[in-house]
């Protein structure tokens, strides 16, 4: 079994997609924990309902202390893979050097990195966007691209409507990408 830790900050629809796929596409993973930086995040309830242990490490005034806390916790969980699923914090260079971390981003990187990718794509007048799964490095959405899926921007799309359509793509793409990665990891370990 491949040990996985999920990092999430919000409603948890992406994490839920991963939880749900454990009975089919992702049978080879053991989600050992979910970690959030927001005490009231809906993803914590989703984790509880899925019987996944969860932890909350709220951002601290001393950022380096927060970095140490999250690194220490993740190290204790001994994951083979860390999945950033709507985690709205930048991880330290030390963290991403120590652990294999992937992230889902709601744009076709390298276009529109950062926290406002959907808004930025609309503001730029882009005709298409999509989602990217990438390795996390010390930069902002600058790691090696693993997979992408495209989506046309429709006339009349708002930031909210476009983001909802992207989220549907993201859920499918992240599950397929994790399945591919765990298959490779199992071959390498076997």
Measure the CA–CA gap between 86 and 16, rounded to whole angstroms.
11
CA atoms within 13 A on the CB side of 63: 5
Which residue out of 105, 116, 134, 163 is catalytically annotated? 105
Measure the CA–CA gap between 78 and 116, rounded to whole angstroms.
32
CA atoms within 13 A on the CB side of 54: 25
Clarify whether 116 is annotated catalytic: no
Identify the helix (H) or strand (E) that includes residue 149: strand 145-152
**Catalytic residues, which ones?**
105
């Amino acid at each position: 079994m491949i040990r996985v830790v999920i990092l999430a900050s919000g409603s948890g629809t992406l994490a839920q997609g991963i939880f749900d796929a454990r009975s089919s596409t992702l049978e080879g993973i053991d989600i050992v924990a979910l970690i959030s930086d927001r005490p009231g995040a809906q993803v914590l309830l989703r984790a509880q309902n899925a019987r996944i242990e969860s932890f909350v490490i709220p951002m601290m005034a001393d950022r380096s202390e927060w970095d140490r806390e999250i690194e220490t916790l993740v190290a204790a969980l001994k994951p083979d893979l860390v999945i950033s699923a709507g985690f709205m914090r930048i991880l330290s260079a030390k963290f991403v050097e120590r652990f294999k971390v992937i992230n889902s981003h709601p744009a076709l990187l390298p276009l529109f990195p950062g926290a406002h990718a959907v808004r930025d794509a609309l503001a730029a007048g882009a005709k298409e966007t999509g989602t990217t799964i990438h390795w996390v490095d010390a930069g902002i959405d600058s790691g090696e691209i693993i997979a992408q899926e495209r989506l046309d921007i429709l006339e009349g799309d708002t930031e909210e409507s476009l983001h909802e359509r992207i989220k549907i793509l993201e859920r499918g793409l992240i599950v397929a990408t994790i399945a591919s990665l765990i298959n490779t990891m199992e071959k390498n370990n076997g």
